[in-house]
Amino acid sequence: MATFDVFAVGCGGGPYEDNLSSYFLKASGAPWEDGIVALEAGSALGAVRRLLGTHPEVFGPPSGSPKKPTPAELYSWIRCYLITHPHLDHLSGLVLSAGSTKCSSTPVYGTRHTLDVVADIFSGKIWPALASWTEEPGKPLVLSPLSPADGYVPITDTFSVRTMEVSHGPSSSPSLAQPTPSSSSSAPYKSSAFFVRHDPSARELLFFGDVEPDALSSHPQNREVWRTAAPKIPDVLSALFIECSWPAGRPDELLYGHLSPAHLADELTVLAREVVASRSRSRADSDEDFGSGSDREAPPRGRKRRRRSDSDVNEEDVRGALAGLRVFVIHCKDDLHETLNGPIHDVIAGQVRALVEERALGAEVVAVEQGMLISI
């Protein structure tokens, strides 16, 4: 039985501005007018207007109305925004639509780093001052910071979110990334991964903003996200939305803080190892609980049973470890010179799928395309 409905208003990585990162999320079975969580806000009203014509069955007339919703009406159903990082292809629609809909006091959630940049945009210099840190008359957007230390934060009556930081390549601005003593080179540009939880069922999906591979990062953070996700797969968490911006063959030095198929396959292999290690630890804990108080022989005093870590996991162990997980490939950058055989999202997802199948990880790889309605 589905828990989430996700509609891809935009899923590309640019530079075509009509298909940028933007997703509408609701509880499965609930009408859209009951409330939408906007995951990212790259493409907006223009894309929605077109999609209402090409996909009229997705939204349909709201309750009590014989007419399909207008783009502005649909936007009035947004209860909050979740923004992973403040690059324009993830928030330009938020900016352009801010003063044109009936929304009022709509929370914009993101890390403080993200919202500081959003506040700069709405400072009156780049765009009118339509956002504030507290509710104010005439300002439809309320900037609402999220911290990784917060745990799960309720964002609607139905959904909560947990935020984790990830790295999106070197930052060119010292004010946007704070160097740490452990950094071996320039500090990374900060992005986010969101664990979105449907509170009534406790099921989750994991949504990444732009992210670089740990193997190339001066401040690798993906493994901690995978470690957090591993115990939940697949019963609690069965859907992962993650970027793969470039097709196979792109040199590492030209990835610009993004993933390629080979690096995404490597990251999924790390996740698989974490899943195997987590399941092994759970079995060990169960065995210890079962053995306590029984006649089972206890280990010699002073010796503790060694818990399995992901470093103990070999290639054979990860076979099938991600069964039940669907990996939705997003943020594929447009093939400007049209050199590929087929749509870029199909090409890249196919390359990722081949690598995942070669490693027998067990995950299903899905190419997300604009206008797709995904039930999870």
Q: From CA 53, how far away is CA 175, in angstroms rounded?
A: 43
**Is 261:247 a contact under the CB 8 Å cutoff?**
yes
Cβ-defined contacts of 93-96 (< 8 Å, 24+)? 93/10, 93/20, 93/22, 93/41, 93/42, 93/43, 93/44, 93/45, 93/47, 94/38, 94/41, 94/44, 94/118, 94/141, 95/121, 95/122, 95/127, 96/44, 96/45
Please choose, from the candidates 104, 191, 100, the residue with its C-alpha nearest in 3D space to the C-alpha of residue 142: 104
pLDDT at 51: 97
pLDDT at 67: 86
Q: From CA 331, how far away is CA 168, in angstroms rounded?
A: 13
**Max CA pair span of the chain:** 75
Identity at 339, one-letter amino acid code: T
**Is 161:152 a contact under the CB 8 Å cutoff?**
yes
pLDDT at 42: 98
Backbone angles phi, psi at 169, to 5 degrees: 85, 170
pLDDT at 182: 39
Q: From CA 194, how far away is CA 118, in angstroms rounded?
A: 18
Residues of the chain with pLDDT under 50: 176-184
Please state, in angstroms and as integers, the Cα–Cα distance from residue 257 to each residue in 9, 98, 366, following that order.
24, 29, 22
**Is 69:59 a contact under the CB 8 Å cutoff?**
yes
Q: From CA 71, how far away is CA 118, in angstroms rounded?
A: 23
Backbone angles phi, psi at 151, to 5 degrees: 70, -145
Residue written as token pair 């609980």:
289
| Beta-sheet strands, E only, within the chain | 4-13, 20-27, 36-39, 78-82, 106-111, 131-132, 141-146, 153-154, 159-170, 188-198, 203-208, 237-243, 326-330, 364-367, 373-375
**Is 187:219 a contact under the CB 8 Å cutoff?**
yes
